[in-house]
Amino acid sequence: MLVASVKSSGSLWLMTAMDGKVTCSSENGAGNVYSAAGMYTLVKHFHDKFGAAWQQEYLELVNFLDRKRVSLGFELVTRCLGEHGSLPNCDHLVLNVAMDRDSLAPYSPLLLVRLKERFLLEVNVIPTECFSESL
């Protein structure tokens, strides 16, 4: 499979879940304005996309991360944190990677596509056709 990736301009934001609780951090550490802004942006995404069912959908993501021991890496793109060139129209997260929480080995980009479809997340990968005959 060939994968094209588009780099967003923002701050690294990581999340995982353990024992039903979300743990998040940013490139600048945990418990700071960046990690809080990422959490706020994620919850707002679920609220905007799923309406009254947002909590149920959010908990499904949390349970998936906990059960499968997955960590997610996002680009946190905001209008107020950092100077990244141009200002986005709205604050958002771009899912860049899904990793095994224990080994930090990345999962296939296909998992990103599945998470995008299931939870309506923005991703930075575009899977294209397999070019095995031409390679």
CA pair distance 89, 79, nearest whole angstrom: 8
The pLDDT value recorded for residue 106 is 95
CA pair distance 54, 31, nearest whole angstrom: 24
Indicate the domain borders of the chain: 3-127
The pLDDT value recorded for residue 49 is 97
Q: What contacts 24+ positions apart, CB below 8 Å, involve 17-20?
A: 17/62, 17/63, 17/65, 17/66, 18/66, 19/66, 20/62, 20/63, 20/66
Report residue 59 CA to chain centroid gap. 15
As a whole number, mean pLDDT of residues 42-69 equals 98
At the topology level of CATH, where does 3-127 sit?
D-amino Acid Aminotransferase; Chain A, domain 1 (3.30.470)
Tell whether the model's pLDDT for residue 79 goes beyond 70: yes
As a whole number, mean pLDDT of residues 19-41 equals 90
- Which residue bears the tokens 């709205």? 90
Higher local confidence (pLDDT), 115 or 85: 115
Question: Helices 54-68 & 109-119, crossing angle to 10 degrees?
Answer: 160
The pLDDT value recorded for residue 7 is 56
The pLDDT value recorded for residue 84 is 58
Phi/psi region, residue 28 (left: phi>0; alpha: psi -120 to 50; beta: rest), is alpha
For the chain, the residue count is 135
The pLDDT value recorded for residue 99 is 97
pLDDT band (50, 70, 90) for residue 56: very high
The pLDDT value recorded for residue 5 is 52
List the end-to-end C-alpha distance of the chain, in Å, as a whole number: 11
pLDDT tens digits along 104-127: 999 998 899 999 999 999 987 665
CA pair distance 97, 135, nearest whole angstrom: 25
